Amino acid sequence: MSAVVKLTGVIKRFGTVEVLKGVSFDVAAGEVVALIGQSGSGKSTALRCINRLETIQGGSIEVCGHRVEAPNLNIRALRQDVGMVFQSYNLFPHMNVAENIMLALRRVKNASRSEAMETARAVLAKVGLLQKIDAYPEQLSGGQQQRVAIARSLAMQPKVMLFDEVTSALDPQLTGEVLRVMEGLAKGGMTMIVVTHEMAFAGKVANRVVYMNTGRVWEVGTGDMLGKPQTQELKEFLANGL
């Protein structure tokens, strides 16, 4: 199956510090890839490079036919194909749930209000929050806010979804409700790259797990590799309970 996302020898520096040291991996259509590793291993930086939130100093990234490092990249077109959900929900507090979801549809896709509302209702139903369509962010739990953030990204009908440690600020119960939504998206065939510290989720849902260490891809395999790590570094990472 051809790759929808392909990183080849990606190098990223912040000043003199090389954060990504020749990172290569690819993701096929409909595949879920989990990026795991210690804090500072380069996982989130790799994700941000895929969406051109960071520029790279070497190598290449191709996403849905876009050459991400190209100087003439149409960033708006790239971000219509690639949705991203962050640890912080980034919802507008003065807008209700429907308005938060409809904003980009109206401004970027020039959807009519009725079209945008129809889409908002559909994606909220998908994340189990249709009953909260008129609520404001302050009236929602952290897990509900994160699910609205996922719905907002889904509304743009991306080809690829990026998740950057979206449950790290949530307690275990709220984490579970967000992970169940993500598992449902995976079962529906959404192409996903997930930076996560939830090893049970990575082992169960991901088609492949990419373990990163010191800015490099260290080990790649199916979820089974979490029970049979091949390198001492991954063994220690898993043994430390993150």
How far apart are alpha carbons 30 and 207 in whole angstroms?
9
How far apart are alpha carbons 98 and 125 in whole angstroms?
12
* CATH value at residue 41: 3.40.50.300
219 close to 231: Cβ distance less than 8 angstroms: yes
Residues 6+ apart with CB under 8 A from 107: none
How far apart are alpha carbons 196 and 164 in whole angstroms?
7
Residue 199's H or E segment, with its range, is: helix 199-205
pTM: 0.94
The tally of domains found in the chain comes to 1
161 close to 83: Cβ distance less than 8 angstroms: yes
Closest CA to 33 of 24, 214, 41: 24
The domain in which residue 186 lies consists of 3-239
Angle at 220 between CA 47 and CA 11, to 5 degrees: 40
The HSE-up count of residue 72 (CA atoms within 13 Å, CB side) is 0
Per-residue pLDDT of the chain in tens (242 residues, 90 and over written 9): 578 999 999 999 999 999 999 999 999 999 999 999 999 999 999 999 999 999 999 999 999 999 999 999 999 999 999 999 998 888 999 999 999 999 999 988 899 999 999 999 999 999 999 999 999 999 999 999 999 999 999 999 999 999 999 998 888 888 999 999 999 999 999 999 999 999 999 999 999 999 999 999 999 999 999 999 999 999 999 988 64
